[in-house]
């Protein structure tokens, strides 16, 4: 049967997004909190599993907690002699603290809608279609983004999982064990090209380009990399009343200059396009009557140019160290994570572009400032990305919003792109 209606159902999209938003540590006005590798994140994966099993699809959870549903190719060789590689779609269901209800979730709901449409309409395809929820995409808890998709990309060792820790000192490996996953089995989650042909993720843009231009779809060609590090400024804590201004080694005053240095470097003419942010700061001992003795800053440098990304990080540390020295305090740096920018393959982009043209849907090719699971998937399997508009470009905040009708259109572009990949692979005998 030929598919005639692959537009997502807006009402159903709203209902699924609300169902996931209700699984949160924080109540509604404070946004959604469903951190990586927590039981709440597992509850959200369980909801997705129910949606998929209700459609009659098989579902498995891999070694690191990624959830993968499959619809076998409907024109599969009954003898099983011809193995067809899968085409996947999906995103993540964890959130930042007090975040929005669309980042990651829109892509999972879109995957669920594609699954429903192909099952209910009996759409035929040669290659298996897989619907995926990656575990732990947000770097908010461990400083490391894309934990599940990095496993898929073969980018973890079990030792590294034991070394990366959250603010309470729990490692990713500890958090996995608490949820009954065995971090020593991380290699088992790796995807390879014998089993996977391609992957396309739908995501909210998280910027305001599409909305400002009145464009319906973004087609991503390049995903920014990020270098994240912790800076510790050590000064001398003392009494705020009895210590004269001239005899202080105030760690917070020096840290304040480092924050402004980050802004200055990213704004200079040679770094236009670099984003450098201090998003977290801890002051010790944290008392109104004690001069700050130690300050910890979390710095996130993002860029689409890998050389400039790393040079910026080095420049922040070296110039930060000099300015601290001048203030009589010390600066130490510790790398938290480092991910390169990724160029997504043109052939998937061409397919998605062709679908938009066929549907007469407005689109633009654009790069992504945020990190995404596709960035890590792309290390193992060709990956593409489709953006849908974000209201006012807001993201990682409770105000994050995308309309269900925009997502429904994205679902159609996604579904038709996946089926076009299926058809192209078949034509090429792959
Ligand atoms: C993921 O949301 C990121 O921080 O880019
Ligand atoms: Mn996301
Ligand atoms: Mn995010």
Mean pLDDT, range 38-60, rounded to an integer: 98
Judge if the beta carbon of residue 370 lies within 6 A of ligand 1.
Answer: yes
**Cis ω before 285 (30° cut-off from 0):** yes
Do 128 and 32 meet the contact criterion of CB atoms below 8 Å apart? no
Work out which ligand 1 atom sits closest to the CA atom of 369.
Answer: 5
CA distance 31 to 172: 24
Task: Classify each residue of 226-236 as buried b or exposed e, where b means 16 or more C-beta atoms within 10 Å of its C-beta.
Answer: bbbbbbbbbbb
CA distance 67 to 344: 23
Per-residue model confidence (pLDDT) at position 75:
83
Instruction: List pLDDT tens digits, range 86-132.
Output: 999 999 999 999 999 999 999 999 999 999 999 999 999 999 999 99
Judge if the beta carbon of residue 139 lies within 6 A of ligand 1.
Answer: yes
Judge if the beta carbon of residue 138 lies within 6 A of ligand 1.
Answer: yes
pTM for the full model? 0.92
- Ion ligand 2 nearby residues (CB, 5 A): 103-104
Judge if the beta carbon of residue 96 lies within 6 A of ligand 1.
Answer: no
Judge if the beta carbon of residue 89 lies within 6 A of ligand 1.
Answer: no
Output the six-digit token pair for 99: 């975040």
Q: Is the pLDDT of residue 2 over 60?
A: no
Do 402 and 106 meet the contact criterion of CB atoms below 8 Å apart? yes
Mean pLDDT, range 294-314, rounded to an integer: 97
Judge if the beta carbon of residue 371 lies within 6 A of ligand 1.
Answer: yes
Q: Which of 372, 375, 387 to mutate to test the pocket of ligand 1 (most atoms within 8 A of CB)?
A: 372
CA distance 101 to 79: 44
How far is the centre of ligand 2, averaged over its atoms, from the C-alpha of 234 (Å)?
34
Q: Is the pLDDT of residue 1 over 60?
A: no
How far is the centre of ligand 3, averaged over its atoms, from the C-alpha of 108 (Å)?
13
CA distance 209 to 206: 9
Judge if the beta carbon of residue 147 lies within 6 A of ligand 1.
Answer: no
């Amino acid at each position: 049967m030929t598919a005639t209606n692959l537009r997502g159902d807006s009402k159903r999209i709203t209902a699924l997004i609300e169902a996931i938003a209700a699984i949160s540590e924080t109540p509604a006005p404070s946004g959604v909190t469903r951190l990586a590798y927590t039981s709440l994140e597992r509850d959200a994966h369980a909801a997705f599993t129910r949606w998929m099993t209700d459609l009659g699809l098989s579902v498995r959870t891999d070694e690191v907690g990624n959830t993968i549903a499959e619809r076998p190719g409907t024109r599969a060789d009954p003898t099983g002699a011809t193995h067809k590689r899968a085409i996947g779609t999906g995103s993540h269901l964890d959130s930042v603290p007090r975040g929005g209800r669309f980042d990651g979730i829109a892509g999972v709901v879109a995957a669920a809608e594609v699954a429903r449409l192909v099952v209910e309409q009996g759409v035929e395809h040669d290659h298996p279609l897989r619907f995926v929820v990656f575990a732990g995409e947000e770097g908010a808890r461990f400083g490391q983004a894309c934990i599940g998709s990095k496993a898929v990309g073969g980018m973890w060792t079990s030792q590294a999982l034991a070394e990366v820790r959250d603010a309470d000192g729990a490692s990713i490996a500890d958090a996995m064990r608490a949820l009954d996953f065995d971090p020593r089995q991380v290699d088992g989650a790796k995807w390879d090209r014998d089993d996977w042909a391609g992957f396309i993720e739908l995501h909210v843009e998280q910027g305001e380009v599409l909305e400002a231009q009145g464009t319906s779809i973004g087609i991503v060609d390049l995903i920014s990399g990020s270098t994240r590090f912790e800076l510790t400024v050590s000064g001398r804590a003392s009494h705020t009343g009895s210590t004269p201004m001239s005899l202080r080694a105030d760690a917070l005053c020096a840290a304040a200059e480092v924050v402004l240095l980050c802004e200055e470097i990213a704004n200079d003419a040679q770094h236009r396009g670099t984003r450098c942010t201090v998003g977290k700061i801890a002051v010790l001992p944290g008392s109104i009557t004690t001069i700050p003795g130690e300050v910890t800053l979390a710095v996130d440098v993002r860029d689409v140019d890998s050389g400039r990304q790393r040079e910026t990080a080095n420049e922040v540390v070296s110039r930060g160290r000099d300015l601290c020295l001048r203030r009589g305090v010390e600066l130490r740096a510790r790398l938290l994570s480092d991910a390169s920018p990724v160029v997504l393959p043109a052939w998937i982009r061409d397919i998605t572009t062709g679908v938009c043209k066929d549907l007469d849907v407005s689109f633009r090719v654009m790069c992504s400032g945020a990190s995404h699971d596709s960035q890590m998937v792309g290390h193992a399997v060709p990956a593409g990305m489709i953006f849908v508009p974000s209201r006012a470009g807001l993201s990682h905040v409770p105000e994050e919003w995308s309309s269900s009708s925009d997502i429904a259109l994205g679902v159609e572009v996604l579904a038709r792109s996946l089926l076009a990949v299926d058809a192209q692979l078949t034509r090429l005998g792959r």
